[in-house]
Amino acid sequence: MEQYTSRSEEETMFIAQEFAKKVKEGDVICLYGNLGAGKTRFVSGFVRHFGLSENEVSSPTFTIINEYEALIPIYHFDCYRLEHVQEALEIGAEEYFFGDGVCIVEWPEKISDILPPDSKKIKIETTGNNERKITIY
Per residue in 65-74, pLDDT (tens digit) is: 999 999 899 9
* pLDDT value of position 57: 81
Average pLDDT of the chain is 93
**What are the residue ranges spanned by the domains of the chain?**
2-136
Candidate CATH numbers 3.10.290.10, 3.30.9.10, 3.40.50.300, 3.40.50.1820; the one for domain 2-136: 3.40.50.300
pTM (2 decimals)? 0.92
Q: What angle separates helix 9-20 from helix 39-48, to the nearest 10 degrees? A: 50
**39-84-34 Cα angle (round to 5):** 25
